[in-house]
Chains A and B, each alone.
Chain A
Amino acid sequence: MTVESTAAARKPRRSSKRTSAAKTPAKTPEGSTPELVQLLTPEGERVEHPDYSIDLSAEELRALYRDMVLTRRFDAEATALQRQGELGLWASLLGQEAAQIGSGRALRDDDYVFPTYREHGVAWCRGVDPTNLLGMFRGVNHGGWDPNTNNFHLYTIVIGSQTLHATGYAMGVAKDGADSAVIAYFGDGASSQGDVAEAFTFSAVYNAPVVFFCQNNQWAISEPTEKQTRVPLYQRAQGFGFPGVRVDGNDVLACLAVTRSALERARRGEGPTLVEAFTYRMGAHTTSDDPTKYRADEERASWEAKDPILRLRTYLEREGAADEAFFTALDEESETLGKRVREAVRAMPDPDRMAIFDHAYADGNPLVDEERAEFAAYQASFAEEGK
């Protein structure tokens, strides 16, 4: 490719754009394909959408690319650390980088995020140190970070529960008269949970400034989306009285544009939006899972061709928006991140055994005090024997 030092300042060319979809969402009787908002095709071609536009500088495009590459590198390192026995479990986000970086970069600092346990890319966008995410997977805590530092709540393992927390938080934002917004992440599996339906109901009734960001990665462990729904998930919003939109979840530009629009709508006091990011879980559900038991290799291969990082790279290269030096430097930065994460995990100490009793209650509790003392005395009895 041509190395152009001026590429960074150049805006992407608009000449190659074409219109990809009709303005009105198509009705989707069973069997037909619903509309998908797309701004960057799997081939790396910029296309236009009548409702969602985006105009990013080369620098901004490179930043999104960097976010996705570093997130994938971090994720790969965590998977490796699980294989090495340093982590007990890891839930990989491989394949979902665009959905997470696109939506994560649409957020303002004063917005608030309620994640599942797979939102490593969103955490990255919020400035959460990646090593913070690993404590619970190593088994040294259940999260432990201060959610208010980065407006990024703790990972929630029971699926769907956090959509209600996000809704309540958003109700509070509205009561406070603030113009920030809240985003709740969940997946296609969680969409079946009653809590998600209740969150839709509450947010609609109270017109709460919340965006429901569903990453439909096609698989809930071994169950395909067909086991969760008979209609495209984004269409569920209509029944609750707010808009739903399906976006190409492997298109970082579309995810950014659609989420930004939904957040702006929330800020204007127009209530919730459901965004269904249509993506694919390229890896296993977690490191304990074996997807070869339930899905075909061909399916994965077909999604590999839609890879979120490759398509942006193709576009960056075609547009001359990034040069070889950028990619080389990013490779080095990735390896530095991997090394830092690796070293941090290996150095992560086991908690003190008395930490079992810490923070059971905020106000203190006589039963906890009694049992802590019993446990300490029991442990001390070994120390005396050892003398």
Chain B
Amino acid sequence: MAVEKMSLAKALNESLRKALDTDPKVLIMGEDVGKLGGVFRITDGLQKDFGEDRVIDTPLAESGIVGTAIGLALRGYRPVVEIQFDGFVFPAYDQIVTQLAKMHARALGKIKLPVVVRIPYGGGIGAVEHHSESPEALFAHVAGLKVVSPSNASDAYWMMQQAVQSDDPVIFFEPKRRYWDKGEVDTESIPGALHAAAVARTGTDLTLAAYGPMVKVCLEAAAAAQEEGKSVEVVDLRSMSPIDFDTIQASVEKTRRLVVVHEAPVFYGSGAEIAARITERCFYHLEAPVLRVGGYHAPYPPARLEEEYLPGLDRVLDAVDRSLAY
């Protein structure tokens, strides 16, 4: 056993280090990923140890970063690219959606595109505009992409390993406000498949489904509900595309109530997809409609208002109460 307590950021760093060490075809590309180690220090020390040829500081051009990563993948490399912040990904959106996601299918399977696009996402860090968004639904809607987000250090370590080994492109959303949260990482034991959801807390009265930064909020809500005698189960989805509906279904068949929580706007968000699918799968089990808690259909607000906008403990508990009241 090699269990070590480390921050989510450090777990990503260790995972990338292992990937570079294991496979000479793995490359890291992005803005400031070299000497600086990235603005969040996720690639700290990697260029020093693996050289400028493998940990590559790129020009400040996101489409160029992803576009050249595609070319490198076609040449046999496995690029892991960093988009500095969620709101900066859109210049690369065309390359990701139009090229990266579809190229394998256009070649009728004859070529593979093992590219990981890392995106620190979500709010709660008091940042300026374009630094706090949750655009995961915009990628989950696109066939050919896998979309995942770890909620803790162990998943960060292992899901990054699995993403780098994936022969399909993976959009890897990192919950930036959880970067400094520590957790135990067992570097010798895989906790589960990349797209398997995990039951983070068991309960009997209601299921909270969340991913990334909202898992912690949901666990806190479940603990608070417990004090009021309500037994809440928390499912950490881990993957937004594909979604492990079987695990959610099994939970809902037991609890009969589901609330989906994410930072992204509720409208057309992943909660809508989960609500629709679980309603189909669990229609006769449900005691209440599937409820959603998330961001609003408005631009992400200035930092002084973000705590109002983001789903917090009280908004989650409010939804729990509304569901239980049916």
Interface residues, chain A, CB within 8 Å of chain B? 114, 141-148, 153-154, 156, 158, 161, 163-173, 175-176, 194-195, 198-199, 201-202, 205, 358-363, 365-368
Contact = CB atoms under 8 A, between A and B. Distances in A.
A168 B76 CA distance: 11
Contact of B74 (A147, A199, A201, A362): A147
Nearest to A184: B71
Nearest to A154: B106
B110 A146 contact: yes
A123 to B, nearest CB: 15
Nearest to B114: A362
Contact of B107 (A114, A154, A165, A360): A154
Contact of A194 (B63, B72, B75, B103): B63
Interface in B63-87: 63-64, 66-77
Given A146-B110, A367-B241, A165 B64 contact: no
Interface of B: 53, 58-59, 61, 63-64, 66-77, 91, 94-95, 98-99, 102-113, 143-144, 146, 166-168, 195, 241-244
A201 B67 CA distance: 12
A163 to B, nearest CB: 8
B107 A168 contact: no
B71 A170 contact: yes
Contact of A144 (B53, B106, B146): B106
A202 B103 CA distance: 22
Contacts of B106: 141-144, 154
Given A168-B71, A172-B76, A358-B108, A161 B64 contact: no
Determine the main DSSP class of A at the interface with B.
helix
B64 A202 contact: yes
A250 B64 CA distance: 32
A171 B66 CA distance: 13
25 contacts: A144-B107, A144-B108, A154-B106, A154-B107, A156-B99, A161-B94, A161-B98, A164-B66, A164-B68, A164-B71, A168-B68, A169-B71, A172-B75, A176-B75, A198-B59, A201-B59, A202-B59, A202-B61, A358-B109, A359-B108, A359-B109, A362-B113, A363-B166, A363-B168, A367-B241
A365 B107 contact: no
Listed residue (B71, B72, B76, B102) with the most chain A CB atoms within 10 angstroms of its CB: B71
Contacts of B91: 194
A366 B99 CA distance: 22
Contacts of B68: 164-165, 167-168, 171, 199, 202
A269 to B, nearest CB: 14
A201 B61 contact: yes
A71 B285 CA distance: 65
Contacts of A165: 67-68, 70-71, 74, 99
Given A153-B74, A366-B195, A367-B242, A146 B63 contact: no
B109 A362 contact: yes
A168 B69 contact: yes
